[in-house]
Amino acid sequence: MVEAFAVASGKGGTGKTTSTMALGMALAERYDVTVVDADTGMANLLFHAGLADVETTLHDVLVEGGVPVEAATYDRFGMSVVPCGTSLAAFESVEPDRLRDVVAELAADTDVLLLDSPATLNSKSAVLPIVLADRVVVVLNPTVPAISDGLKVQEYALSYGSDIAGTVFNRVRGDITGVKAKAERYFEGPTLASVPESDAIQAARSAGVPLLDHAPESPAAAAFRTAAGRLSPNDGDHEDVAERFRTAVIPDPP
């Protein structure tokens, strides 16, 4: 019984990592949650999770002859967190396809997997988290570029057989009822929440901890809890989880 979500936007700085950590913490109240920094080229989840100084990261798992994923898994904020390192050299030696096995392994032992996804759609490794996910949470800002990139993410997800869990409007200022209503005509799934532009989010980022740890009572935190409540992860699916992810996409020829 696991459901894997990719948190994606096709654009940088929309709040994917902020959302991943916030949704993770909110879901962790009811589920066993694992979050993975699947943005292996531009990792930054470690800075949101108080893990900036750890030795072993996903990079060390994804290299040829790498360490097992447990070595890069940390218990933080009531979740299992798999951060990724920021070294470009390490990224270049990574074999992105191994993410599939890592996800399969983690999936065997958790209820909800959240994959913090890259900000582009221009490479196989950038798109892989969306392919591996059961459902995609599309993070939008109320701007034209962010919404068009969100539409692209949705098309990629649907093309590769992943469903859309819904959209999160982040960095919202003022009343965007009209924008939301119009966007809902194009996006599958509900608007999960509107998260306001928030000093608390900036402050949490500066403190290197997730929003729900730093300012659990803030309106932004409440919005993320609402979004998490609307995700209602599937439980009860008893197929062989590891197998499901390994065969989610056709393996490369040897």
- For ligand ADP, the binding residues (CB under 6 A) are 9, 12-18, 44, 119, 170-171, 195, 197-198, 201-202, 205, 220
SS3 214: helix
Return the sign of the alpha-carbon dihedral for residues 129, 132, 136, 137: negative
Site string for other proteins, 211-250 (x = CB under 8 A): ------------------------------------xxxx
Alpha-carbon dihedral 147, 149, 100, 31, rounded to 10 degrees: -10
Kindly tell me which residue out of 20, 154, 191, 218 binds other proteins, with binding defined by CB under 8 A.
154
Site string for other proteins, 127-146 (x = CB under 8 A): x---x----------xxx--
In contact, 154 and 43? CB cutoff 8 Å: no
Binding to other proteins by residue 93, rule CB under 8 A? no
| Degrees to nearest 5, angle at CA 167 with 162 and 170 | 140
| Degrees to nearest 5, angle at CA 215 with 210 and 218 | 120
In contact, 245 and 109? CB cutoff 8 Å: no
Min CB(12)–ligand ADP separation in Å: 5
Q: Which is nearer to Mg ion, 41 or 190 (CB)?
A: 41
Select from 118, 133, 137 the least CA-distant residue to 191.
Answer: 137
Kindly tell me which residue out of 87, 93, 148, 234 binds other proteins, with binding defined by CB under 8 A.
148
Residues that bind other proteins (CB under 8 A): 121, 124, 127, 131, 142-144, 147-148, 151-152, 154-156, 158-161, 173-174, 176, 178-179, 182-183, 185-186, 247-252
